[in-house]
Amino acid sequence: MEKTVLIVTDGAEDTQKMARAIEKALEGCRVALVRAENFEGPQLLSADVCFLGAGVPNPPSFAYLYTVLEHINLAGRPCGIFSNSEEAAAYLRGMVRDSELALDPQPFLGTGDIGDWAARIITRSVEKNTP
C-alpha cells in the first residue's frame, strides 16, 4: 500500500537535512517535502502520514500551519515530530494536540537513525489499516 506522506519544516538547515533523510528512507511512498511558508491546507488533508520539523519553538513560518491544526480533525493519522531541540519538539507536540493526530510518542531529537524512526511510523500506520 503506497502512503502519501507530508513533511513540513521550518526551512532551517538542520531540519531540512533531517527531512531529506526521512524522504530518502520512505522510498515507495509519495512524499511531499514542504517548507512551512509554502504549506497549503489541502496538502495536510491528502496526507496519510505527516512529519513536522522545526529547529526552534514557534517559528514564524509555522503560523498558518498552527492555525490549520487548531481547526481540523485528523484523528488517528500518524504523525512524527523531529528537531535537534527538546523545546522545539515540545512546541510541535503542543501544536498538533487539537488536531488529534496520532502523534508518535518518541520525537526524533537528532540522535540515532532518522530513517529507521520514520519507517517505524509508516509501518505502524500500515499495520493499523490492514484488515
Please provide the average confidence, as pLDDT, over all residues in the chain: 92
What pLDDT score was predicted for residue 131? 45
CB 80 within 8 A of CB 56: no
pLDDT band at 125 (very low <50, low <70, confident <90, very high): low
pLDDT band at 89 (very low <50, low <70, confident <90, very high): very high
- Rounded percentage of the chain residues whose pLDDT exceeds 90: 90
Fold topology of 4-128: Rossmann fold (3.40.50)
Residue 129 pLDDT greater than 80, yes or no: no
Q: Where are the chain's structural domains?
A: 4-128
Task: State in Å, rounded, how far the first CA of the chain is from the last one.
Answer: 12
Average pLDDT on 18-25 reads 96
Residue 41 pLDDT greater than 60, yes or no: yes
**How many residues are recorded in the chain?**
131
What pLDDT score was predicted for residue 128? 54
